[in-house]
Structure 1
Amino acid sequence: MLSHTTAKLLIVDDLPENLLALAALIHGDDREVHEAQSAEAALTLLLEHEFALAILDVQMPGMNGFELAELMRGTEKTRNIPIVFVSAAGREMNYAFKGYESGAVDFLHKPLDTQAVKSKVSVFVDLYRQRKVLDRQLQAIERSRQEQALLLDQLQVARGELEHAVRMRDDFMSIVAHEVRTPLNGLILETQLRKMHLARGNHAAFSPEKLKAMVERDERQINSLIRLIEDMLDVSRIRTGKLSLRPKAFDLGQLVRALVENFEAQATALGTHIELQACEALQGEWDEFRIEQVLANLLSNALRYGNRKPVRVRVFEQAGLAWVQVQDQGIGISAVNQQRIFQQFERVASQQSSAGLGLGLYISEQIVHAHGGRIQVQSEEGKGATFTLQLPLAGEIEQNDQLRATSA
């Protein structure tokens, strides 16, 4: 590594023949010698280059060697350059003492001792090259420290994400266990009750009317389990980019009208109803099953959290988009919760029933985004909520990075 470092040497003397002789004496393949015939010319070179050593003649016209050395020591860039003075004056002039006071590391008298000059210059060149190697090592250590600090930050972020993922997994498993247990418990109790009736020979418990009621209860519990399983499967498909979309032409208004009719029985059971305030015929190319899934989720939520007040639905075209608005008059959603409800496993706490995994709106938003549309909510606490679905009428499905339509 040392052999790859070129050392620059500066020699300053007002006599060209002295410069020529000194340059020939100290030159080498690993050195680059720069010459100056005045202190002013030397200052220019000092500002342009990084020198391993400066050899200065003491007696020069204008600014002498001592004055140049003082300027060098007062400048940040040249402060640490080793200085060797050369003088033809006799030793009785006591120049050496003044030179050391000016910051010199050595003082040479003319005529120069060739071997001594070569040896001294070689020492300073080696010291310079060793210092450069050390500087590079220190820089490498600092880069390594910064990289380690960055890696540590990344590891801390990854740790936080992992801890969050673990909490989400634990919360998810807790929610799944709770939600699956409810329909299963119903089915188990029904089964045990029927076994008891059969064991006692109580065939009256299986009259057509009672049997019909049993089958309807079983169907509700089984449908609840199917819904939970489908939600979990949809999340898995979304994460792996395998949620397929099968667009085809259909009338969005007709789909909404049919859904409203299907939900009337549920609304009646809750003591309310659904008002279809506007329903334009809007033809487009979308995945009918997935859009129905989104709208069914919005209607179900509106009835669940609507305080048994009418739910209003509107279907219309605006700005080249198909709009579907579902408005309830229930508990409303705070600004903070509006940011959360489209995330996985998030549900708004309320006194109303909140069965489910908290995946409905997350899945709905991903489906709508895959269609190149968007879903929004406007709400205030205690003043109900309006969910708006917007779909491009052109029917071009824009895929995002995390959710891609794949062939069936």
Structure 2
Amino acid sequence: MTPNEHGQEGAGNPPAVSRASILLVDDHPSNLLALEAILEPLGQDLVRATSGEEALKHLLHRDFAVILMDVQMPGMDGFQTASLIKQRERTRTTPIIFLTALSRDADHVFKGYAHGAVDYLLKPFDPEILRSKVSVFVDLFLKEQQIQRQGALLRQREREALEQLSELRYRRLTESLPEAMWAARADGTLTYANRAWRDYTGRHSERTLSLATFLEDVHPADRERLRTTWTQAVRHGLRVEREFRLKRFDGVYRWHMARAVPERDEDGRVAGWLAVATDIDDKRRAEQSLASFKATLDATLDCVLMFSPDSLTLTYANAGAARQLHGTVEELMGLGILDVESAFDEEGFRKLLAPLMSGTLPSQTYTTTHRRRDGSEVPVEVMLQFIPGDEGPGRFISVARDITERQRAETALRLASEAKDAFLAAASHELRTPLAAAKGHAHLALLKLGGQTEAGPGKSLKIINRQIDRMAKLVEDLLDISRLQAGRLSLELERFDLRTLVNETRDRMAVLSQAHELTVEGPESLEGTWDRGRVEQVLTNLLSNAIRYSPEGGQVRVRLLRDGDTGVHLVVQDQGVGIPREKQALIFERFGRAHGSKYGGLGLGLTISQGIVEQHGGRIWVESAGVLGKGSAFHVWLPRETEAPSPHVGNGPPPAS
């Protein structure tokens, strides 16, 4: 038989196939002989192969209805041969039945199916069953061949019908085109214009169709140039493209792109012309807007880059980018953005881009470094935005500002702040000695005067002594701030009853103001391990603030709450002036005061309190509506057992509900 009789690919229609080919693959001739004896009654072509390589050669020359393949073969086994068969487009759907007498375990059977087998038979097998299964695939193959022949015949008839109706269909097609189209003879004389041109220009009579009437609708500034272009194209028989403005029926000119193509006969001579004009007015306007936009970007001093979201390749760089990156615009174009954004790898950078592409974030602002063309780096602040495209994937715009000078200024400011802190710490230490001496002498003088402190020198000494105490408190606060800044605020832990400490502090603070009612609520006993002196310092500061910021008096409530077995929750609530919401973060900063200097104080107490609480592994926060009369509530959460002091402990667990 010829190759085509077995389904070899060819340019013509598939020939009639009355018999199918069956490929038998086994390295034992006796097994092949047995298979032929079983399948001979089917009346099909049986093709032998004694190895996987020989089977692949047969598959190059003909198509098979089914392949019966032994699994165990020397060299290339059945599984390997099947894998190669399935990789080839022409044979990937050919059914394969594996035959084996050795590998009966389930894993081996599954492996056979994984390599594309339609069945896996174990020897010895029933000849009738094998013959029945093979006959099914033979019938399927023959029916598929018949369908292919019928399809080819149908396509041939359709082509004949199309050829008969080609001119009518051509006319209908051109009439339905949304773009203006013309046909012309070889000498350039116009013979036809489609509906789109007639509707656009309002010229519905074909009798008026001519080159002269066509040029009447072309903008005067483009008319002669278009006439010359058309004449040259007709003379030389060359394809031509030209942009020009064409007048619409309402008198509006719109830009079009015209393409004229010569039609040639069998001898290569020009037999006619086809021309199509595409409206590009909107595109030109968009390009002009983009050009104007890019001109604006070119004028900015910042580094402006555009890059593709798919390839991350730079598609635009302005003059500012060239200056900042020490290169030319031409050198930057085509680079990857990661060649510039040197601090990122691709995975991390795409994570940064993801919320912009999804619309979750309108923009991203971050600080990084840009790598210059000479390898040096420049610190920048980048503002990144994604601009979706009407068509296509859109683009990213990166605006990067050189922050070298800003970083220098920030460094200078930080050094100045550190110098100030160092000065305050040194000054505070130096002030302690003369204050202690002044305190001692004032105390001795008061003792010598006995009880005479209501008038004369005694009264003055009493005032001096009080001011020395105030000065000492300020010095201690400054020293605590210095210790916090340096991470040297130490804790002396001991076990005590917090309720007792709260009561003692309440009693001591109650003496300072008769206009305030200080109450304590909560369990009668609440033991834990903390620094007693430091916790008392926090309580004193919170109660002092509650009294200070409640100038009209009122109730100050201290509530103690158990937070399970692991923590305690303390709340100090006043009825004073409150704290505006926008100032609530400020009050925990150094020298931060929500109400300025109106109520006194340096603005250090809450900063120190926060440091002490966090040193214990706890958390302090405020709740206030900022309304006069509703006051503020300061919350402190502490663990019941403070294990080891650490100057860098963060916020503790969430507050108790």
What TM-score, normalized by structure 2, do the two folds share?
0.33
Q: Which structure's CA Rg is the greater one?
A: 2
Find the aligned partners of 1:351 and 1:173 in 2 and give their Cα distance: 23
Task: Give the 3 Å change call, closer, same or farther, for CA 207–370 of structure 1 in structure 2.
Answer: closer
Q: State the Cα distance separating 1:146 from its structure 2 match.
A: 6.5
Pick the aligned partner of 1:239 from 485, 490, 493: 485
Q: Which amino acid aligns with 1:375?
A: I
Task: Give the 3 Å change call, closer, same or farther, for CA 245–173 of structure 1 in structure 2.
Answer: closer
1:345 correspondence with 2:591: yes
Give the gaps of 5 or more residues in structure 2.
Answer: 1-330, 341-370, 382-401, 651-657
Q: Secondary structure at the residue paired with 1:276? A: strand
Deviations along 1:243-299, one digit per CA (max 9) or x if unpaired, are 11111111111100000000111122xx22212233531111111111111111001
Find the aligned partners of 1:303 and 1:157 in 2 and give their Cα distance: 43
Deviations along 1:74-125, one digit per CA (max 9) or x if unpaired, are xxxxxxxxxxxxxxxxxxxxxxxxxxxxxxxxxxxxxxxxxxxxxxxxxxxx
Find the aligned partners of 2:573 and 2:555 in 1 and give their Cα distance: 9
Task: Give the 3 Å change call, closer, same or farther, for CA 170–401 of structure 1 in structure 2.
Answer: closer
1:142 correspondence with 2:372: yes
Find the aligned partners of 2:641 and 2:450 in 1 and give their Cα distance: 55
Deviations along 1:369-401, one digit per CA (max 9) or x if unpaired, are 010101111001122000011110133246253
RMSD: 4.0
Deviations along 1:107-148, one digit per CA (max 9) or x if unpaired, are xxxxxxxxxxxxxxxxxxxxxxxxxxxx89x98983447612
Find the aligned partners of 1:323 and 1:149 in 2 and give their Cα distance: 45
Q: Secondary structure at the residue paired with 1:233? A: helix
Percentage of matched positions with identical amino acids = 33
Taking the TM superposition and a 5 Å limit, the aligned residue runs for 1:83-162 are 142-144=372-374, 147-150=377-380, 153=403, 156-160=406-410, 162=412
Q: State the Cα distance separating 1:162 from its structure 2 match.
A: 3.6
Find the aligned partners of 2:543 and 2:596 in 1 and give their Cα distance: 17
Q: Secondary structure at the residue paired with 1:222? A: helix
Find the aligned partners of 1:158 and 1:332 in 2 and give their Cα distance: 39
Q: Which amino acid aligns with 2:378?
A: Q
Find the aligned partners of 2:375 and 2:600 in 1 and give their Cα distance: 51
Could you say which residue in structure 1 is the equivalent of 2:513? 267
Number of residues of Structure 1 aligned to a counterpart in Structure 2:
246
Pick the aligned partner of 2:582 from 336, 339, 343: 336
Is the 2:530–2:641 Cα contact (8 Å) retained in structure 1? no
Q: State the Cα distance separating 1:170 from its structure 2 match.
A: 7.6
Find the aligned partners of 2:466 and 2:614 in 1 and give their Cα distance: 31
Could you say which residue in structure 2 is the equivalent of 1:287? 531
Q: Which amino acid aligns with 1:209?
A: Q
Which of the pair has the greater relative contact order for Cα pairs under 8 Å at 6+ separation? Answer: 1
1:368 correspondence with 2:613: yes
Could you say which residue in structure 1 is the equivalent of 2:470? 224
1:209 correspondence with 2:452: yes
Could you say which residue in structure 2 is the equivalent of 1:385? 632
Is the 2:520–2:557 Cα contact (8 Å) retained in structure 1? yes
Is the 1:280–1:315 Cα contact (8 Å) retained in structure 2? no
What TM-score, normalized by structure 1, do the two folds share?
0.52
Task: Give the 3 Å change call, closer, same or farther, for CA 144–155 of structure 1 in structure 2.
Answer: farther
Is the 1:368–1:391 Cα contact (8 Å) retained in structure 2? yes
1:326 correspondence with 2:569: no
Give the gaps of 5 or more residues in structure 1.
Answer: 1-134, 195-205, 404-408
Could you say which residue in structure 1 is the equivalent of 2:216? none
Deviations along 1:310-369, one digit per CA (max 9) or x if unpaired, are 2111122123311211111001001111111001111121685212x2111111101100
Could you say which residue in structure 2 is the equivalent of 1:32? none
Could you say which residue in structure 2 is the equivalent of 1:311? 556
Q: Which amino acid aligns with 2:581?
A: A
Could you say which residue in structure 2 is the equivalent of 1:401? 648
Q: State the Cα distance separating 1:217 from its structure 2 match.
A: 1.8
Range that drifts further, 394-403 or 233-242: 394-403
Find the aligned partners of 2:531 and 2:571 in 1 and give their Cα distance: 19
Q: Which amino acid aligns with 2:574?
A: D
Q: Which has the higher strand share?
A: 2
Is the 2:615–2:649 Cα contact (8 Å) retained in structure 1? no
Q: Secondary structure at the residue paired with 1:266? A: coil
Is the 1:267–1:274 Cα contact (8 Å) retained in structure 2? no
Q: State the Cα distance separating 1:213 from its structure 2 match.
A: 3.5
Is the 1:372–1:397 Cα contact (8 Å) retained in structure 2? no
Task: Give the 3 Å change call, closer, same or farther, for CA 239–149 of structure 1 in structure 2.
Answer: closer
